[in-house]
Structure 1
Amino acid sequence: MNISRIAISLAGILLFGYCGTLRAQVRQTREEYIDRYKHIAVEQMERYGIPASITMAQGILESDSGNSLLALRSNNHFGIKCKSNWRGERVYHDDDTKGECFRAYPTVEASYYDHAEFLDSQPRYDSLFAYASDDYKSWARGLKAAGYATAPDYAQRLVRIIEENQLYLLDRQDGERLYAQRYGLERDPEEWFSSQSSVETPAVSTAIDPDNYRVTINAHEGYNVYVTNGVHYILAKEKDSFENIGSKFRISAGNLRRFNDLKDKKAQPLPGEVVYIERKKKRWEGNARHHICREGETAYSVAQSYGIRMRSIERLNDLKKNQTLEKGRQIRIQ
């Protein structure tokens, strides 16, 4: 009898471990999320005038690309709370305070439709509709100013997501086709980005000199190069290593690890991970002074998000090494 109980217990443990592994394997990527829902964002833009790039960026940020507990439990991809006029299903979730009421939807599509209706019907967002549907930066600032989210850098986060993923293509005529062809543009990508931006693009040699490379987005050796806090970075690809990234940007693997606060000489980047190609700053140079922590964040993840050295984050906030930060904690970034 005891042997049977032990066997059942072991089977349960193995099944639990298998389910945990399976769940980790099926986590939705950002690219999959965009491909799945971009057509809804474009539909809402055509109907309401809300930039599709803004809708997609908010969905990515608020739902962790559809992987957050709130999104999985209730199909709520925009963090919209119940309010007194909500008559639909509800779910309770810890956010700014414990057990807050959030809207629940039968489908993800219903969440997208309600998000557009929510912005269109709330007087505090009226000023946003004066902006063009391709002016994502003004929309991002306007959402923050109107109080959509409490994070002081909410606008910067939205813009970063839009520019990292070229979501601004969705705001243009025939945007879905442009987005689908973003890596196969007939024109030279540097020429195309220059024609779409008011930022003057300097000439780029076969190797990037970070001191002279001062555009928001460009391409080099098959990588898009981005900038945050005045520091340039790329997103690692599948099977990337610091050695092969370094060879393409003429930076040693050791320096790349130092730029990214990694002391382990064997450390390698994960696919989609931010890799800085120059040294990060000691302080955030934007307007925000603080970062509001999300669940599971560390000094390292905050430092990578803002282009700030991890040691600076630790010193500014008197943090211990590898300390996990509590959700909602206010972290100084300058």
Structure 2
Amino acid sequence: MARKKKNQLKMPAIIVGFLLILVGFVFSLMSLSDPVNNNSPLVHQENEDMTKQEFIDRLRPHAEELQEGYGILPSIIISQAALESNWGSSQLAHEYNNLFGIKAYGNQNKVNLETKEYVNEQWITIEGDFRVYHSWEDSMDDHTMLFVNGVDWNPQKYEAVLTAQNYQEAAEALQEDGYATDPGYADKVIEVIETYQLDQYD
């Protein structure tokens, strides 16, 4: 009789132990699928309420590294990022780390969002696929490599942006090479640079 009772007591302990192991396993699976892991590009790494100076200070160190490596002027990188992302507060920049409105093609990691483009002398709203990045630095790298490598049909497309002697020349080259559909794009880039004295970083 006593032996039978002992076996009955062992069974609940085994079941409780098994349940604890199962709960631990489920929690470990949940942590693996947590969206804040390194494989997720949707980590909101930036404060969308940062001031304009904070935005400039945030981008400046990496912009200067890119100038050292590829010749692109930091004033151009920062001013374009400010214009394209509304100083880092746009949905594309804040949620998807895309500072420059760079489009996505093929199997690239992407999100579909509405955007405005200037077509036939008027602004229209269209939907487009945009690149999704792990960080703002990744977005800045891709932006620079667009100037370095050009596009499939014209590797030299943005060469004049890289070889420009100053930000005015670089901004005009952006316009002439068709970086944006906005006919006043060069003037807007120059205005941001001069208003916030971004050429001091060139």
* Structure-1-length-normalised TM-score: 0.41
Question: Which of 99, 104, 115 in structure 1 is aligned with 2:132?
Answer: 104
Answering whether residue 163 of structure 2 is matched by residue 130 of structure 1, we say yes
Answering whether residue 196 of structure 2 is matched by residue 168 of structure 1, we say no
Shift in Å, 1:28? 1.9
Deviation per CA, 1:79-131: give whole Å up to 9, x if none. 110135xx431011111353210000011111011111111111211233332
Q: CA RMSD for the aligned pairs?
A: 1.6
Distance 1:119 1:152 in 2: 20
- Structure with the larger RCO, 1 or 2 (CA within 8 Å, 6+ apart): 2
Distance 1:108 1:125 in 2: 21
Distance 1:103 1:32 in 2: 24
Distance 2:52 2:129 in 1: 27
Shift in Å, 1:44? 0.5
Deviation per CA, 1:157-185: give whole Å up to 9, x if none. 111100111100000xxxxxxxxxxxxxx
Q: Which amino acid aligns with 1:32?
A: E
Residues 188-199 of structure 1 mapped to structure 2, 5 A cutoff: none
5+ long unaligned stretches in structure 2: 1-46, 118-124
Ranges of 4+ aligned residues in structure 1 off by more than 4 Å: none
Question: Which of 52, 70, 81 in structure 1 is aligned with 2:92?
Answer: 70
5+ long unaligned stretches in structure 1: 1-24, 172-334
Q: Which amino acid aligns with 1:58?
A: Q
Amino-acid identity (%): 37
Per the alignment, residue 142 of structure 1 pairs with 173
Per the alignment, residue 295 of structure 1 pairs with none
Partner of 1:94, secondary structure, is strand
Deviation per CA, 1:187-242: give whole Å up to 9, x if none. xxxxxxxxxxxxxxxxxxxxxxxxxxxxxxxxxxxxxxxxxxxxxxxxxxxxxxxx
Residues 246-261 of structure 1 mapped to structure 2, 5 A cutoff: none
Answering whether residue 112 of structure 2 is matched by residue 81 of structure 1, we say no
Partner of 2:130, secondary structure, is strand
Answering whether residue 189 of structure 2 is matched by residue 158 of structure 1, we say yes
Distance 2:49 2:104 in 1: 27
Distance 1:37 1:118 in 2: 18
Q: 1:48 to 1:26 in 2, by over 3 A?
A: closer
Deviation per CA, 1:232-265: give whole Å up to 9, x if none. xxxxxxxxxxxxxxxxxxxxxxxxxxxxxxxxxx
Answering whether residue 71 of structure 2 is matched by residue 49 of structure 1, we say yes
Q: 1:131 to 1:29 in 2, by over 3 A?
A: same
Q: 1:45 to 1:125 in 2, by over 3 A?
A: same
Distance 1:49 1:83 in 2: 26
* Structure-2-length-normalised TM-score: 0.67
Residues 275-290 of structure 1 mapped to structure 2, 5 A cutoff: none
Residues 240-251 of structure 1 mapped to structure 2, 5 A cutoff: none
Question: Which of 68, 81, 94 in structure 1 is aligned with 2:114?
Answer: 94
Distance 1:98 1:60 in 2: 21
